[in-house]
Amino acid sequence: MRAAVMGMGSWGTAFAMVLADAGNDVVVWGRDAPAVATVNSQHRNPRFHPGIDLPITLSATADSSHALRGADVVVLAVPAQTLRENLTRWGADVPRDAVLASLMKGLERDTGLRMSQVVAELLPDAGPRVAVVSGPNLAGEIAKRQPAATVVAADDEGVARRIQVACLTPYFRPYTNTDVVGVELAGVVKNVIALAAGMTKGLGFGDNSQAAIITRGLAEMTRLGLAMGAEPLTFMGLAGVGDLVATCMSSLSRNRTFGENLGRGMSVDDVVRITEQTAEGVKSAPAVLALGRRLGVDLPITEHVTAVVQDGLSPHEMVVRLMAREAKPEWAGGHDADGPATAG
């Protein structure tokens, strides 16, 4: 198949490598003309994956219409908050029979829409052909062809299977799922929880603190997902707990690293200045919190992370406030004590 990867950042480039290694003809689109030239002349993207050789069947272009022409698979790998702008510019060139795979993990800040919903709004004919890809997929490891697994979720299982076949390699194992809401939401919320985990690390706290954040974060994302009609088992799988653990614990995680710098005393503006890649959780946290409030779901970690990144609350005070919350049972009659049922 011919695949167009729209975005040549860290994850977009790594996923393009997977597609090429799976036997597809891959064109990556990016705005940075020198980076495009380097990919084509040296088969490398040194800004994001220094020292990694790209497959020779992978090429790059700064012409979006060229990238999209004749594509069987269109991969959306731009920063979440730029998707609407990008689709407005080149969405009309997306082939009408192509399947679309979203790698983006964010909620649109102004509307609270998931990325697949933004696609469906701007490209109504493409809506049924959109899938989301999410899992413990740290781009730096995948670019080194280390074993990894992911979830490809689409309302139409046939769409999910087409993308599954397109990205199946000896080192990258995709599973299909029809719970688009759960898979996509987990990919968003885990970034917010990773900011909190990073802050605890930056404050000098140990594994107990981070394990508590991860576990209660899992309960938090599950509560929100169930309120939105997601399947409970999704949050126990690769897109849920799998991606949550990887994002919260790995030094390769942009969101965890961003939180760690906050915990060490840097301001949000300072961290943004030294952060080369987008930490989606910073911009998604307020939208996730607003979504939870609309649905009547208590999201204490998200609430306090939002207070840090948006309102200037210190990470130390965040931890103090979380620890000072009213003592509760972990489970109440089969329900999580902070909200709707999370299991059973």
Task: Residue 96: give its domain's CATH number.
Answer: 3.40.50.720
Query: Considering the domain boundaries, does residue 162 fall inside one?
Result: yes
Query: Considering the domain boundaries, does residue 28 fall inside one?
Result: yes
In eight-state DSSP terms, residue 337 is: T
pLDDT at res. 340:
62
Specify whether the CB–CB gap between 258 and 271 falls below 8 A.
Answer: yes
Query: Considering the domain boundaries, does residue 322 fall inside one?
Result: yes
Residue pLDDT, tens place only, 169-186: 999 999 999 999 999 999
| Both tokens assigned to 314 | 């210190």
> Of 136, 152, 178, which residue is a domain's last?
178
pLDDT at res. 343:
41
Based on the fold, state whether residues 187 and 271 are members of the same structural domain.
Answer: yes
> Of 149, 178, 207, which residue is a domain's last?
178
Based on the fold, state whether residues 188 and 139 are members of the same structural domain.
Answer: no
Residues 6+ apart with CB under 8 A from 129: 98, 99, 100, 156, 159
Query: Considering the domain boundaries, does residue 341 fall inside one?
Result: no
C-alpha 291: how far from chain center: 17
Based on the fold, state whether residues 115 and 224 are members of the same structural domain.
Answer: no
Query: Considering the domain boundaries, does residue 342 fall inside one?
Result: no
Based on the fold, state whether residues 243 and 273 are members of the same structural domain.
Answer: yes
Based on the fold, state whether residues 20 and 32 are members of the same structural domain.
Answer: yes
pLDDT at res. 344:
35
pLDDT at res. 36:
97
| Both tokens assigned to 244 | 């949550």
Helix axes 254-263, 180-202, angle to 10 degrees: 30
> Of 128, 147, 178, which residue is a domain's last?
178
C-alpha distances (whole Å) from 335 to each of 293, 322, 341 are 19, 20, 4
Find, among 160, 155, 214, 158, the residue nearest to 189 by Cα.
214
Based on the fold, state whether residues 149 and 198 are members of the same structural domain.
Answer: no
Query: Considering the domain boundaries, does residue 344 fall inside one?
Result: no
- Rounded CA-CA distance 297/279 in Å is 24
Query: Considering the domain boundaries, does residue 343 fall inside one?
Result: no
- Rounded CA-CA distance 143/159 in Å is 25
- Rounded CA-CA distance 58/54 in Å is 7
Specify whether the CB–CB gap between 111 and 284 falls below 8 A.
Answer: no
Does the global pTM surpass 0.85?
Answer: yes
The CATH code of the domain that includes 308 is 1.10.1040.10
Q: Please report which helix (H) or strand (E) contains residue 7, including its range.
A: none
Based on the fold, state whether residues 173 and 191 are members of the same structural domain.
Answer: no
Based on the fold, state whether residues 173 and 207 are members of the same structural domain.
Answer: no
Based on the fold, state whether residues 108 and 195 are members of the same structural domain.
Answer: no
| Both tokens assigned to 120 | 């469906």
Find, among 300, 279, 278, 290, the residue nearest to 111 by Cα.
290
Query: Considering the domain boundaries, does residue 73 fall inside one?
Result: yes
Based on the fold, state whether residues 87 and 202 are members of the same structural domain.
Answer: no
Q: How many domains does the chain have?
A: 2
Locus of tokens 């990325």: 115
Based on the fold, state whether residues 114 and 207 are members of the same structural domain.
Answer: no
Based on the fold, state whether residues 108 and 139 are members of the same structural domain.
Answer: yes
Find, among 305, 278, 153, 315, the residue nearest to 225 by Cα.
153
Burial annotation 291-303 (CB, 10 A radius, 16+ → b, else e): bbeeeebbbebbb
**Residue 283 sits in which domain range?**
181-336
Positions annotated as catalytic residues are 190
Q: Which stretches of the chain drop beneath a pLDDT of 50?
A: 342-344
